[in-house]
Chain A
Amino acid sequence: MANPKRKDINVATLRETITTHFGTDAVPGAVLSPATVTELHLPRERFEEAASVLKKAGARLAAQWAVDETTLGRAFAVYACYALDSEYLLVRCAVPLDDPTFPSLTKKYLPAFRFERQIESLMGLVPTGHGHSDHRPWIKFEDWPVDAWPLRKNFDSAQRLPRVPGEYQWARVTGEGVYEIPVGPVHAGIIEPGHFRFQAMGEDIINLEERLGYVHKGIEKRFESLSWEEGVRLAGRVSGDSTVAHALTYCRAVEALCGCQPPPRAHWLRALFLERERIANHLGDIAAIANDAAFAFLFYQFTRLKETVLRTNKRLFGHRYLMDRIMPGGVNVDLLPAGVDLIREELDGLQVEFERLITIYDLSPSLEDRLRTTGILSPELARDLGTVGFVARASGQPLDCRIQAPFPPYDQIPPRLVVLDSCDVHARAWVRIEEVRDSCRLVREILARLPVGGLKTTLQPPAADKGGFAVVEGWRGEIVYWLHSGQAGEINRCMIRDPSSVNWLGLEQAVLGNIVPDFPLCNKSFNQSYSGHDL
């Protein structure tokens, strides 16, 4: 869907906007991607200016990261990735060794403050300029040595980090009657660890601050010691519930980098896996939302449906969550004609049951009472925080990169864009309901049109010093991978931006003014990944 604002002013692409504004200061770089992606290099002092030009053009800041290029005879570089409609623009500025600082974009783009804290913590490049006052470490904890910057090339990743004294400085609300509730990192349910710090007055939440990073496993650093083929196993374990989406994004970035074109059948099978992952996770989420509103009946019914999807996966493809089925160059498992029938049969049963349960869901006033007007994330905030996926779509943002940056076969079977505007827990649940319906339709289309042919092509090693970029709409939203090859064609850097990296910001805002007991419900309606965020 086109951005209406953009149609009115009828402006050029983001790339043209920048080249017009900056003239010869904007030097084209070489990024390889299946999507509409360009890379421009700007002088460091004009890095922030680009952000304001692009913000005026209506672009969204999708990601920001740093790379250590010392093995290539250079110093550091900072990248900012902007997106508008189908276009992605990477703006890069070089950062010298003797002055490891870069201009902060936080004043122009809100989510930049998290990206920049992460860059400062893990790469040791300091954001400067007006607007950036938050230098507290992020993902890195206070008890790490200050000069431990794991993403730098001279950091020994095998070392055990000593613990130093230090304590996190919370942004606190104080005053008479204000009390604080610390939650986590070990939560009451069977979920991932993270810490939430609430300040409440009576029952109302007046401030929530998240502290994440507990499950930081050094994934981005680990990639640098793996080969391109080995990397896909790790990408499939960045966030276990999105294993297909992460493996697929990684593979698409590798294939762009190596100039490799998977056979058509592989594309369609990958989409089949991606939609099945979406169906399974959405079913589980709808179940969990109902459960947190104390509607145990729907919880058990929907988890039962989810189990049927997982079992079909296991029977046909050998893994309940489809881990390690996608690889650079294609897929390693085929779908036989008997399997096509089995999936159709499964869908026939599933869709009937699903609709029956949704009627019950829709007709339950007690459920409606809990879900409606709870945890509102306004469309303005959803846009300013750069949220993606169902969180953004439930708050009126028409973002789905299966539609905006379509990759095969989505260019032939366009998904339906589900956008709602009530911005509450109900909307986030209902977007999922509509997407389960649409994914079932897509799976049927894929089964009907699955092309014949091979499953995999061989991967040629990439050239040195090239970037590979890919985006994929996983069930949680847009996943971004940026890969960089080193001098010998090895992995020099693997940047991962899970949807959670931006959507966690939305949760902090959505719970304000809600009662403390509604927090679990709000949290379930977001259901963001800790592992995908912490890396």
Chain B
Amino acid sequence: MLRILHQIFRTGVVTEPLTDEVEAEVVLVGARLEAAIRRRFSRSLAIREVDAGSCNGCELEIIAMNNPIYNCERFGIHFTASPRFADMLLVTGPVSHNMEIALKRTYDATPDPKLVVAVGDCGCNGGIFGESYASLGGASSVIPVDACIPGCPPTPVELLHGILHLIDCR
């Protein structure tokens, strides 16, 4: 126990302030978000992550958002285990033919009002996998998408900027 406490004190707080070095690269698609929704979600945003066919690269960076350095919970962002109490879906990957139904059902299970953010080049437009018998392209080909955060994969800073920009809480 002493070793653990010692290590905790030695480490201190490693969370970094979110710098503005990275431009919030987020592409809003479709109609502009209602101000009311933005207001309602700021400071407490529950996110359900859905891998709709990703290579797992975007997942690594979304997991990294939760590490003590990026510590997304300080902004009131936390990841839920179920879409049923989520405010936002973070969708990665080109939507695979085999995940299409599961993605639609996850979307339907998420209560209104909800936001959908497509993450990564694949989530935005299918990326390198394109459109084929097995890949249907970006998330917007299956469910309504409010915004896209491109990158391969987008870094945790880019993801945080994108999400915070979207709910307008900065």
The distance from the CB of A535 to the nearest CB of chain B, in whole angstroms, is 9
Measured in the bound complex, the distance between the Cα atoms of B49 and A320 in whole Å is 21
Indicate if the CB atoms of B97 and A240 lie closer than 8 Å.
Answer: no
Indicate if the CB atoms of B81 and A189 lie closer than 8 Å.
Answer: yes
Measured in the bound complex, the distance between the Cα atoms of B53 and A356 in whole Å is 38
Indicate if the CB atoms of B57 and A321 lie closer than 8 Å.
Answer: yes
In this complex, what residue of A is CB-closest to B70?
A307
The distance from the CB of A143 to the nearest CB of chain B, in whole angstroms, is 9
Q: Mark B13-39, 1 if CB is under 8 A from A, else 0.
A: 010000000000000000000000000
Measured in the bound complex, the distance between the Cα atoms of B60 and A357 in whole Å is 22
Indicate if the CB atoms of B133 and A357 lie closer than 8 Å.
Answer: no
Residues of chain B with a CB closer than 8 A to A463's CB = none
Indicate if the CB atoms of B82 and A219 lie closer than 8 Å.
Answer: no
Q: Quick check: which of A70-78, A97-105, A158-166, A501-509 contacts chain B, the rest being far away?
A: A158-166
Measured in the bound complex, the distance between the Cα atoms of B49 and A189 in whole Å is 8
Q: Mark B59-103, 1 if CB is under 8 A from A, else 0.
A: 111111011110000000001011100000000011011110010
Residues of chain B with a CB closer than 8 A to A314's CB = 155
Q: Quick check: which of B123-131, B142-150, B161-169 contacts chain A, the rest being far away?
A: B123-131
Measured in the bound complex, the distance between the Cα atoms of B73 and A39 in whole Å is 55
Q: Given A192-B56, A239-B56, A240-B60, A221–B98 Cβ distance below 8 Å?
A: no
Q: Given A240-B57, A304-B67, A190–B133 Cβ distance below 8 Å?
A: no
In this complex, what residue of A is CB-closest to B129?
A217
The distance from the CB of B133 to the nearest CB of chain A, in whole angstroms, is 5
Any chain A CB within 8 A of the CB of B140?
no
Give the number of A-B contacts (CB < 8 Å).
Answer: 148
Indicate if the CB atoms of B129 and A218 lie closer than 8 Å.
Answer: yes
Q: Given A141-B98, A190-B79, A217–B3 Cβ distance below 8 Å?
A: no
Q: Given A190-B62, A300-B68, A148–B102 Cβ distance below 8 Å?
A: no
Indicate if the CB atoms of B153 and A240 lie closer than 8 Å.
Answer: yes
B56, B63, B99 interface centre (most CB from chain A within 10 Å) = B56
Number of B residues near A (Cβ < 8 Å) is 51
In this complex, what residue of B is CB-closest to A234?
B128
Residues of chain A with a CB closer than 8 A to B55's CB = 237-240, 531
CB within 8 A of A216: which of B79, B98, B130?
B98
Any chain B CB within 8 A of the CB of A146?
no
Measured in the bound complex, the distance between the Cα atoms of B128 and A310 in whole Å is 23
In this complex, what residue of B is CB-closest to A194?
B51
Residues of chain B with a CB closer than 8 A to A306's CB = 67
Q: Given A193-B102, A300-B68, A158–B56 Cβ distance below 8 Å?
A: no
In this complex, what residue of A is CB-closest to B93?
A215
Indicate if the CB atoms of A304 and B62 lie closer than 8 Å.
Answer: no
Any chain A CB within 8 A of the CB of B58?
yes
Measured in the bound complex, the distance between the Cα atoms of B3 and A189 in whole Å is 30
Measured in the bound complex, the distance between the Cα atoms of B61 and A102 in whole Å is 44
Indicate if the CB atoms of B133 and A218 lie closer than 8 Å.
Answer: yes
Residues of chain A with a CB closer than 8 A to B52's CB = 193
CB within 8 A of A214: which of B11, B56, B96, B152?
B96
Measured in the bound complex, the distance between the Cα atoms of B57 and A320 in whole Å is 10
Residues of chain A with a CB closer than 8 A to B102's CB = 185-186, 193, 214
Indicate if the CB atoms of A307 and B133 lie closer than 8 Å.
Answer: no
CB within 8 A of B135: which of A156, A218, A356?
A218
CB within 8 A of B51: which of A191, A213, A310, A320?
A191
In this complex, what residue of A is CB-closest to B14?
A304
Indicate if the CB atoms of B133 and A159 lie closer than 8 Å.
Answer: yes
Residues of chain B with a CB closer than 8 A to A297's CB = 4, 7-8
A-to-B contact residues, CB < 8 Å:
141, 148, 150, 155-161, 185-186, 188-193, 213-219, 221-222, 233-234, 237-241, 243, 284, 297, 300-301, 303-304, 306-307, 310, 314, 320-321, 323, 356-357, 359-360, 363, 529-531, 534
| Between-chain CB contacts (< 8 Å), 26 pairs | A141-B98, A150-B133, A160-B136, A185-B99, A192-B56, A193-B102, A214-B96, A214-B98, A215-B54, A215-B96, A216-B96, A217-B134, A218-B132, A219-B129, A222-B129, A237-B152, A240-B56, A240-B57, A240-B60, A297-B4, A297-B8, A303-B68, A304-B14, A306-B67, A356-B3, A534-B98
